[in-house]
Structure 1
Amino acid sequence: MDEAQSNVVAVLARVPVSSIEAALPLYKRLAGSDEVRAFAFGGVRLAWVGPFLLLASADGAVPFRSATIIVRDVQLVVSLVQAGGGVLLDGPMPGPNGQRLIARHADGNVFEYIEDVHASG
């Protein structure tokens, strides 16, 4: 249990928005930060600011996940999810911010896990 807790670096609230540009000022103020990691993945535009992950797509559809969890080691997550009766839905595979995977836990919740290369070690 201590091993899993130390593996989690941060949990990001996934926030679907119609316009990242319009939403960013509020989320920057809420996060107390002007630092934004903007990128696109799978037809979705994303902006990571503080504990928020803003998601926007041209058709308004963004994939549902309970949360995005930043971890030091994705392989540890694979082991823990599978040992706990969960299944891997996608990955692990390279993503814009490091290795990523989508997993459904045994309780039915779906999470995205991202291995943040800046948090390793």
Structure 2
Amino acid sequence: MKIKKILTRLYVHDINTSIDFYKKLLNQDCDLIVKYSEMQLELAQIGNILILSGTDEALKPFRDTSATFLVDSVIEFREFLLQNGAVIVRDLKKVPTGMNLTVKHLDGTIIEYVEHKNSNA
């Protein structure tokens, strides 16, 4: 069980403007751009930033999520989290990048756990 990377989440309406800005700010290329049609969102990752873009309505269910943890095994983390008092907000689900799970930790913080398909993320 390993957390590979922690991503700070930003919620925006114009993904292209945000991508351009954060590429310049961080002096890094965009690592990932994904359309998540089912949720009417677009996502981009630049370094340790995850940009979620959509309408206010599309973003509303996700705004309370503080961060995304990229992990080696979302199933192992699910078991660990449940055994340690976390509450499932959104259970295991296949997503465009692999599989995810969103939980509320004991302190009330909501975190998304993601295991990428290629698991090299």
Identify the TM-score tier after normalising by the shorter chain.
0.7 to 0.9
Q: What's the offset of the Cα at 1:109?
A: 1.0
Q: Partners in 2 of 1:30 and 1:81 — Cα distance?
A: 35
Q: Partners in 2 of 1:23 and 1:35 — Cα distance?
A: 11
TM-score, normalising length: structure 1: 0.84
Counterpart position of 1:23:
18
Q: Partners in 2 of 1:53 and 1:9 — Cα distance?
A: 14
SS in 2 for 1:30: helix
1:39/1:83 CA distance change after superposition, 3 Å: same
Count of aligned pairs: 115
Contiguous gaps of at least 5 residues in structure 1:
none
Percent identical among aligned pairs is 27
Q: Partners in 2 of 1:110 and 1:9 — Cα distance?
A: 18
* Aligned counterpart for 1:54 among listed residues 51, 55, 59: 51
Q: Partners in 1 of 2:58 and 2:70 — Cα distance?
A: 23
Q: Which region of structure 1 is more displaced relative to structure 2, 21-30 or 53-62?
A: 53-62
Correspondence list, 1:1-121, <5 A: 3=1, 7-41=2-36, 42-59=39-56, 62=59, 63-64=62-63, 65-119=65-119
1:10-65, CA deviations, whole angstroms, 9 ceiling, x for partnerless residues? 01110112211111122112333223411122112111111111111133652120
The structure 1 segments of at least 4 consecutive aligned residues displaced by more than 4 Å after TM superposition are none
Q: CA RMSD in A?
A: 1.8
